[in-house]
Structure 1
Amino acid sequence: MRWPQVAAPVLFAAVIVLVWQLAVGTGAVSSAFLPAPSDLIRRFWLELTQGPLLDHTITTLAAAIYGTVLATLVAVPLGYLIAKVRWVDLAMTPYVTASQAIPAVAVAPLLALWIGYGLTPIAFLCAVVAFFPMLITTVLGVQSLPQDVLEAAKLDGANAWQSLRWVEAPLAMPSVLAGIRAGVALSVTGAVVGEFTMGGQGLGMLLTLYRDANDTEGMFATLFTLAFLAVGMFTLLRVLQSVVARAITKEKKR
């Protein structure tokens, strides 16, 4: 990663925090509505070390991970079939597209009715939210595979399975990982929406408790935790995507 890619967002964040601190410190903005960054850092550390923040974070993270895995197991094979089999494309695409018009908050009560409350329906909601970007990037990744490479594999005697394993899967992997990366961030949002509507012991419930108590600092600390969680998972998969891309590039040069 190049230095400007790191410096630019860090400098931007530093300017925002400085202006924020000055606005609250001078009284231009009431701390009851927008706590100062210094107070939020103190509260975040207190919640992390002595409060329930870590336990609730683990619960939300578990739901997001389970949902991401479930969405991946369905979206990637289905995306491959849509890209490769014409009748699957014609049969599935209209319904998949129409499903995106249904908001996650509308699906949550149905999941609670069908499955119950707790971690399982929340994980299913995470999967629903993360499914579409994974599906689309898989379809695009498979459809954009270079035809000359696929034809060369056939000429070398590769059957369908060998072509999938040694040619199509490696070449489409960066696109698939890009979809999973986007889905991971969305799955965190899905977990919070699920906890708002279906209970659970995650960060969504913690936000509800702080809201009812008019605890602005607690709400901001929880929101920052959600942001860090999504960014951390997103960054981890981005690194994995870069590693895979470099490995594919090296393989092409052989």
Structure 2
Amino acid sequence: MSKVNRHRQRLPGWVQVLASAVFLGTLFFTWWFFTHFLNVESWIFPTPEAFMQRFIVEVQRTQLWEAVAVTLLEAILGSLLGAAVALPLAYCIYRFRFISAAIEPFLGVTQAIPAIALAPLLVLWFGYGLAPIVFLCAMLVFFPILIATTIGLRRLDQEIIEAAVLDGAAGLVLLKNVEIPLALPAILGGVRNGFTLSITGAVVGELVMGGNGLGSILTAQRNAVDTVGMFVTIALLCTLAMIFYGVIYFFERRSKLVNLD
């Protein structure tokens, strides 16, 4: 086996779990050392012990899980909306040169405008509630999915495409049976990054526009200078993002294995 193949070979599951556990343990040890030996005030940076005690208390509160459900709903709806726009547009950019020439120079605009600057405009257009937050999430999700899908389609093996066309595949048949399966790893990579950003969109939306999710809890904790509570809420947000990332990464890995077969 060549060095390249050995490098690309996937590590066993237990090794990956062990590596993650070692990394997490290192973070907690650094945190513990930092807070215990550098005399950091607890209201600035709480200790791991205080964090864990508060975490255990918070996860037993029904209100917290209701907020988690709201944030998840906003993120999922925003992700689906962003993907529903980005995926067809990416295919049009890949397939039609005129659309590509017209749209691509302006794609950077979607990233040049800060999300927090768009939030007040969304309130004016859609009012308060679920809709503006979902649209904000969709705007954050849109760009990474669009770019990854466009690149994935453009990097398809043209010999395979030409062979499929010679066999009679065209239009939707070619897209469904050849182009999408081949580009699926790249598409899922963009979806993975985009869906993870949707959590950020939901929180930013709630911080600016209000709501009943984790962003509103984070706002209340900030106003009360509840640093420990903020750490707990941020940890939950990180966990949600990791779950999104991990689930889509699982399907991404499966799609790569299918393509190899």
Interval of TM-score (by shorter of Structure 1 and Structure 2): over 0.9
Corresponding position of 2:179: 168
CA contact (8 A) 1:53 1:222 kept: no
Say which SS state the counterpart of residue 6 (structure 1) adopts.
helix
Task: Find the counterpart in structure 1 of residue 228 from structure 2.
Answer: 217
Residues 1:129 and 2:118 are matched in the alignment: no
Q: 2:122 aligns with which of 111, 115, 128?
A: 111
Deviates more, 1:21-30 or 1:160-169: 21-30
Partner in structure 1 of residue 239 of structure 2: 228
Partner of 2:214: 203
Q: How far apart in 2 are the matches of 1:27 and 1:86?
A: 60
1:99 equivalenced with 2:117 (yes/no): no
| Aligned counterpart, 1:70 | 81
- SS of the residue corresponding to residue 108 of structure 2 reads helix
**Matches of residues 1-254 of structure 1 in structure 2 within 5 Å?**
2=11, 3-26=14-37, 28-50=39-61, 52-250=63-261
Mapped partners of 2:214, 2:128: distance in 1:
16
Counterpart contact for 2:110–2:143, Cα < 8 Å: no
- Cα distance in 2 for residues equivalent to 1:235 and 1:67: 18
**What is the TM-score of this pair, normalised by structure 2?**
0.92
In structure 2, stretches of 5+ residues that fail to align are 1-9
After superposition, the C-alpha distances for 1:126-174 in whole angstroms (9 at most, x for unaligned) are 0001100000001001000100000000111112221111000111111
Identity %: 42
1:5-50 Cα distance to aligned partner (Å, 9 max, x none): 3333321221221232233334622222111112111211211112
In 2, Cα distance between equivalents of 1:49 and 1:176: 38
What is the identity, as a one-letter code, of the residue corresponding to 1:134? Answer: I
Output the amino acid matched with 2:246: T
* Partner Cα separation in structure 1 for residue 247 and residue 40 of structure 2: 36
The amino acid that maps onto 2:156 is L
Which deviates further from its counterpart, 33-42 or 50-59? Answer: 50-59
> In the TM superposition, what is the alpha-carbon distance from 1:205 to its structure 2 partner?
0.6
Equivalent residues of 2:195, 2:245 under 8 A apart: yes
Counterpart-to-counterpart distance in 1, 2:48 and 2:66: 23
Q: Distance in 2 between matches of 1:101 and 1:171?
A: 31
Code of the residue aligned with 1:33 in structure 2: it is I
In structure 2, distance between residues paired with 1:142 and 1:96? 17
Letter in structure 2 aligned against 1:94: P
Alpha-carbon distance between aligned partners in 2 of 1:7 and 1:87, rounded to the nearest angstrom: 50
User: Which amino acid in structure 2 is aligned with residue 11 of structure 1?
Assistant: V
Structure 1 segments unaligned to the other structure (5+ residues): none
Note if contact 1:196-1:204 (Cα within 8 Å) is conserved in structure 2.
Answer: yes
Query: Alpha carbon RMSD of aligned pairs, Å?
Result: 1.4
Task: Give the TM-score normalised by structure 1.
Answer: 0.94
Q: For structure 1, which segment, 26-35 or 208-217, has the greater mean C-alpha deviation from structure 2 after superposition? A: 26-35
**Deviations along 1:219-247, whole A, 9 cap, x unmatched?**
10000011111011101100011112222
TM-fit CA distance, 1:57: 1.1
Residue correspondences, number: 250
Task: Find the aligned partners of 1:18 and 1:159 in 2 and give their Cα distance.
Answer: 58
